[in-house]
Structure 1
Amino acid sequence: MLEALIFVVFPFCMLFAAISDMLSMTIANRVPVLLVVVFALVAPLTGMEWAAFGWHFAAGAVVLAVTFGLFAMGGMGGGDAKLLAATAVWMGLNVHLVEYLVVSTFIGGLLTLAILLYRKSPLAVFTGRNPFLRHFAEESAGVPYGIALGLGGLLTYPDSPLMVWALARLAG
Structure 2
Amino acid sequence: MLAQSAFAALWLLIFSTPIALFVAWSDLREMRIPNLAVLALMLVYAVVGALTLPLADFGWSWLHFIVVLVVGFALSLTGGFGAGDAKFAAAMAPFVALGDLRLFLVLFSAVVIAAFVAHRIFRAIPAMRRATPDWASWERKEFPFGLALGPALIFYLGLACLYGS
Fold agreement, TM-score > 0.5: yes
Structure with more relative contact order (C-alpha pairs < 8 Å, separation 6 or more): 2
- Residues 41-92 of structure 1: CA deviation (Å, up to 9, x unaligned): 232222x333211221111111111111111111011111111111111123
> After TM superposition, what 4+ stretches of structure 1 lie above 3 angstroms from structure 2?
2-7, 113-119, 123-137
Q: Is the 8 A contact 1:43 1:53 kept in 2?
A: yes
- Of the three residues 97, 104, 107, the one matched with 1:100 is 104
Give the whole-Å Cα distance in 2 for the aligned partners of 1:101 and 1:68.
Answer: 18
Q: Distance in 1 between matches of 2:97 and 2:66?
A: 11
Looking at structure 2, the residues matched to 33 and 74 of structure 1 have their Cα atoms a distance apart, in angstroms, of 23
For residue 83 of structure 1, give the secondary structure of its aligned residue in structure 2.
Answer: helix
Cα distance in 2, alignment partners of residues 106 and 14 from structure 1? 17
Matches within 5 A, 1:3-152: 6-46=12-52, 48-95=53-100, 97-115=101-119, 123=124, 131-132=132-133, 135-138=136-139, 140-152=140-152
Report how far residue 14 of structure 1 moved. 0.8
TM-score (norm 2): 0.76
How high is the sequence identity, in percent, across the aligned residues?
A: 30
**Could you say which structure has the larger radius of gyration?**
1
Deviation sequence 1:21-42 (CA, Å, 0-9, x none): 1111111111121111221123
Report the Cα distance in structure 2 between the residues aligned to 1:105 and 1:155, rounded to whole angstroms. Answer: 12
Specify every segment of 5 or more residues in structure 1 that has no aligned partner in the other structure, as ranges: 166-172
> In 2, distance between residues paired with 1:126 and 1:53?
46
Query: What SS is found at the alignment partner of 1:94?
Result: helix
Aligned to 2:155: 155
Amino acid at match of 1:49: P
Cα distance in 1 for partners of 2:10, 2:127 equals 44
* Deviation for aligned residue 1:111: 3.0
Per the normalisation by structure 1, the TM-score is 0.73
CA distance in 2, matches of 1:134, 1:6: 29
Residue-pair matches, total: 157
Q: RMSD of the TM alignment (CA)?
A: 3.1
CA separation of 1:65/1:3 partners in 2, compared to 1, >3 Å: closer, same or farther? closer
